[in-house]
């Protein structure tokens, strides 16, 4: 069935370090792919998305590329900040017109 597997956390980095959070999916057809972020005490909000193969989503310095051949959508940022500390969720939208979420990755950035 449809599923999302993302890198387990927690991840702890120093400020200005490079970030990668891996995400792979199993789905039929050609889903749209998303990264959501949840800051402490808040609901989830969309960080970036890609709707077709080879698309790159980007926002706030974060990027992710839709790789159909590897069914992946890894999240990257070249230089993280303390304010990036949050939980990050990979998700995809398949034929059922719902979003399926990964388990979330907690990121802590230390000054």
Partner 1 sequence: DADVTQTPRNRITKTGKRIMLECSQTKGHDRMYWYRQDPGLGLRLIYYSFDVKDINKGEISDGYSVSRQAQAKFSLSLESAIPNQTALYFCATSDLSGRPNTGELFFGEGSRLTVL
Check binding of 24 to partner 1 (CB under 8 A): no
Check binding of 89 to partner 1 (CB under 8 A): yes
> CB-wise, 17 or 27, nearer to partner 1?
27
Shortest spacing between CB 43 and partner 1, in angstroms: 3
Query: How many positions of this chain bind partner 1 (CB under 8 A)?
Result: 23
Pattern of binders to partner 1 over 29-48, x per CB under 8 A? -xxx-x-x----xxxxxx--
Burial tier of 75 (Cβ tally within 10 Å: 0-12, 13-18, 19+): buried
Buried b (16+ CB within 10 A) or exposed e, 79-107: ebeeebbbbbbbbbbbeeeebbebebbeb
Site residues (vs partner 1, CB under 8 A):
30-32, 34, 36, 41-46, 49, 51, 89, 93-94, 97-99, 101-104
């Amino acid at each position: 069935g449809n599923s999302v597997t993302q890198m387990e956390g927690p991840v702890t980095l120093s400020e200005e370090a490079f970030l990668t959070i891996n995400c792979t999916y199993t789905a039929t057809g050609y889903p749209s792919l998303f990264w959501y972020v949840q800051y402490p005490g808040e609901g989830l909000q969309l960080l970036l998305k890609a709707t077709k193969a080879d698309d790159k989503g980007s926002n706030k310095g974060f990027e992710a590329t839709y790789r159909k051949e590897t069914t992946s959508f890894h999240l990257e940022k070249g230089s993280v900040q303390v304010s990036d500390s949050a939980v990050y969720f990979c998700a995809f939208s398949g034929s059922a017109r719902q979003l399926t979420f990964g388990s979330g990755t907690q990121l802590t950035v230390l000054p």
